[in-house]
Amino acid sequence: MPSIQYRLWRLALRLVRRKHRFSSAQALHEEIRRRRKIGRADPTPRLLARHEISMELVAGVEVYTVRPRGTGSGRQILYLHGGGYVFDIVSQHWDFIGKLVDALGATVIVPIYPLAPEHTYRDVFAGMLPLYDQIVQRQPPASLTVMGDSAGGGMALALAQIARDSGRALPGKLVLMSPFVDATGSNPGIDALEPLDPMLSKPGGIECGRVYAGGDPVTLPQVSPIYGSLRDLPPVTLFIGTHDVLLPDCRAFRLLAQEQGLPLRYHEYEGMFHVWMLLPMPEADAAFAQIVAAVQADDSAQRHPSGLAPLRAEAETADHAGQG
C-alpha cells in the first residue's frame, strides 16, 4: 500500500495545480517568469550547520562544494539539479545533497548552471566541461559519480557522452533519477501516462527541450542523449516511476542499453511520480538506500582496457509502495 506521505504529496501536487504550470508552452513561460522573480534556493541553514560549504567561479559558473565535517570517504559526486533546463535549484535539492554527504561521506559538487531560454545547451557545457576537467584532475576519475535528477539526469548522461567522445577520463559511474533523456516528446507511450502524472505535462517538456536546444535540432545528443551512442560509457543506475511521463523514454533507454552493452541497473517503482526520491516519504527512503548502494558499488570488474565489457542490463521492477 502507498504510504500516507506519498498520498499527501500526490494530493498536494494536484491541489496546487503543479501540472498546469507545464500544460502548454505559454504556461511554461509564465511559470519561468514567476520563478525568475523568486530566484533560486541557497543552501539551507541546516546544510550550512552540518557541512562545510564553499563556492567558487569556474568558467563563469557558480559552483558549490559541500563536504563532510571531518574525514570524508574520498568519494565525489557531481550533482546536476533538475528543473527542465529552465528552473533554478530548489530547497529539496539541497536537502537531498545533504543526505548524500551524510550517508556517503562524499564531497558533492553542485554547479548552478545557466538556464534556458536565456541560455542554451552550448552555454551549459561551455561551463560544465572546464568544471569536469578540474574535478578529474584533482581526484581519481573512478572516485567520481555524476548524478542528476530530471533534466539534470539527461545532462549527466550527455556530459559522459561528451567526455567519452573528446577523449577525457570517464567518471566511475552515473546515477540518473527520473532522467529527461529524450526532449522530443515523440514516444507514443507518453500520452497514456499524462493522466497519471501529477507533475509533468508533455507540451511543457517539449517546450523545455526546444528552448534548451536554442534553434538546433532537439535530437542532438547534447540535448536528448538517448540519440547518442551508449557504448563505452560508465555503469549507469537509473530510477523511474510508473506514473512518470518520462517512463516510456526510460524503458526505451533500457532496451538501447541492452543492445549496446551498457552496464545498467534499472529500478522501476510502481506508482511513483516524477523525482519522488527528493521528497520526505518512505518510498523515497527505499530509493535513497539503492542510490547509496549504487555509489558504493565496486564496478571495476565491469571494465576492461578498451572501456566497458558488454553486459546485459539489469532490470528491476519494484513495488515499493509500502516500504518504510
pLDDT in tens, 101-111: 999 999 999 99
Of 91, 92, 109, the residue nearest 101 (C-alpha): 109
Cα separation, 224 vs 213, whole angstroms: 9
68 forms beta bridges with 51
Cell of 322: 509500502
Altogether, the residues listed in the chain come to a count of 324
d(CA 269, CA 275): 11
C-alpha cell at 260: 549496446
Rg (CA), the chain: 18
For the chain, list the strands marked E by DSSP.
Answer: 51-58, 61-68, 76-80, 107-112, 144-149, 173-177, 236-241, 264-269, 303-304, 307-308, 314-318
Q: In sequence order, which ranges of the chain are alpha helices (DSSP H)? A: 4-15, 25-38, 45-50, 91-104, 121-138, 151-165, 190-193, 202-213, 247-260, 282-296
What's the pLDDT tens digit per position in 40-58?
999 999 999 999 999 999 9
Q: How confident is the model at residue 70, as a pLDDT?
A: 85
* Cα(159)–Cα(140) distance, integer angstroms: 17
Query: Residues of the chain with pLDDT > 70: what percent?
Result: 92
Whole-number Å distance between alpha carbons of 1 and 279: 18
Residues forming a β-bridge with 149: 177
CA-closest candidate to residue 246, choices 156, 301, 177: 177
| The pLDDT of residue 299 | 64
Query: Longest Cα pair distance anywhere in the chain, in angstroms?
Result: 53
Kindly tell me the burial class for residue 169, based on how many C-beta atoms sit within 10 Å of its own C-beta (0-12, 13-18, 19 or more): middle
Q: What is the mean pLDDT of each run of 10 residues along the chain (324 residues)?
A: 90 78 88 94 93 96 95 94 97 97 97 98 98 96 97 98 98 98 96 91 95 98 98 98 97 98 97 95 96 87 38 47 35
Mean pLDDT computed over every residue of the chain: 91
Which pLDDT value is given to residue 304?
36
**Those residues with Cβ within 8 angstroms of residue 141's Cβ, 6 or more apart along the chain or in another chain:** 169, 170, 171, 172
Q: Tell me the per-residue pLDDT of 278-323, one tens digit each, with 9 for 90 and over.
A: 999 999 999 999 999 999 998 654 543 333 333 334 445 555 443 3
C-beta atoms surrounding 4 within 10 Å:
10
Rounded-to-integer distance, Cα 90 and Cα 317, Å: 29
Q: What is the CATH number of domain 4-318?
A: 3.40.50.1820
Contact 199, 169 (CB under 8 A): no
Strands 173-177 vs 107-112: parallel, antiparallel or unpaired: unpaired
Element (H, E) at 192: helix 190-193
Q: Give the phi and the psi of residue 41 in degrees, each rounded to 5.
A: -85, 135
Q: d(Cα 252, Cα 274) in Å, to the nearest integer?
A: 17
